[in-house]
A and B are shown apart, each in its own frame.
Chain A
Amino acid sequence: MNCRQATRFISDAMESPLNDATRLRLRLHILICPACRHFARQVDDLRQITAAYPGPEQSLTQAETPAAHASPDLDQGKKK
């Protein structure tokens, strides 16, 4: 199994269970491949992050000043 296949299986496993043989091969791959291990963790994070999606405002209004209701004060410290 290469990384391209492994990442596909990681994504598929988020949709429905893999068969036993594939799951085992995927585990072995992940055991020896830190990049795919990070990938698995990060797409799972992506799922949790997306569930908290606040709507498309920022991309549509980038040029505008944040409005009073857009809670602009949360992130000042991290912007640097």
Chain B
Amino acid sequence: MMSMNKTTETSTGPELGLDDRLREQMLAFARLQLGNNQSLAEDAVHEAMLAAWQGLTDFRGRSSVKTWVFGILRHKIVDILRSRGRELLASELPSLSAEASQQEADPDMAERVFNHRGAWLRENRPRRCQDDPLQAVEDAGFWTVFNTCLNHLPGQQARLFMMREYLGLSGPEICELLAISTSNLHVQLYRARLQLRSCLHRNWFEEHKK
């Protein structure tokens, strides 16, 4: 998907981590959130990079440059969704509804998690875990697992989940922006949570039990 970029060590940007590689990551994320609309994604990244450059003097602490820049990008994506949601919608409506109806008809995930009576299957049954799972956010290895789990979700589910939980848009706002029904949103958020929780526990929390 992306190639390793050479960084130019002499200028300020790369030193701070504002290099091409980060830009590629931002673009990939913006595309996911903006329905694969390349030009809107580029707008979002461009504006975020610009804002980041302008704010460079305010920024302290280099370990979280990426978090900081992604925070800016998050706002830019929300701005674009709000101001140009209609335009986006027109370009992706067919795929959206097709995927939504396909997922309605495909109860696969729940079938793998629950038995025919609706009780947890043994291997997916949630168990008590670490005392403080929120500490995982400090761990780079955790985010590798998180991203892998996220990438295993159907694209639309991952997108809705991140719009809701990362971009912080409200449910009604997402429904309006994407012209989907509340029940569609809720069922997709449910499936995303079910699968992500299960994936994270299998691949991280149960491995790191104290």
In the complex the two chains form, what is the Cα distance from A37 to B140 in whole Å? 28
The residue from A38, A58, A79 contacting B143, defined by CB atoms under 8 A apart = A58
Given A2-B117, A12-B186, A56-B147, A72 contacting B140 (CB threshold 8 A) = yes
Binding site for A on B (CB under 8 A): 1-2, 4, 7, 16-17, 21-22, 24-26, 28-29, 62-67, 69-70, 110, 113-114, 117-120, 125-129, 133-134, 136-144, 146-148, 150-151, 161-162, 165-166, 168, 171, 185-186, 189-190, 193-194, 196-197, 200-201, 208
User: Main secondary structure on chain B at its contact with chain A?
Assistant: helix
**7 A–B contacts, CB within 8 A, in A order:** A3-B114, A14-B189, A42-B197, A50-B165, A60-B25, A64-B4, A78-B141
Nearest B-chain residue to A47, judged by Cβ: B165
A28: chain B residues at CB < 8 Å are none
Complex CA distance for A19 and B143, rounded to whole angstroms: 36
Residue in A39, A72, A78 whose CB lies within 8 Å of B197: A39
Q: Which residues of B contact A35 (CB under 8 A)?
A: 120, 125-127
A49 touching B136, Cβ below 8 Å: yes
CB-based contact A46/B193 at 8 Å: yes
A45: shortest Cβ distance to chain B, in Å? 5
Known contacts A58-B144, A69-B66, A75-B141, A50 near B21 by CB under 8 Å:
no
Nearest chain B residue, comparing its CB with the CB of A65: B4
**Residue numbers in A under 8 Å from B185 (CB-CB):** 15
Complex: chain A residue closest to B136, CB-CB = A49
**In the assembled complex, which residues on chain A have CB atoms less than 8 Å from the CB atom of B208?**
78
Q: Which of B118, B168, B208 has the most CB of A within 10 A?
A: B118
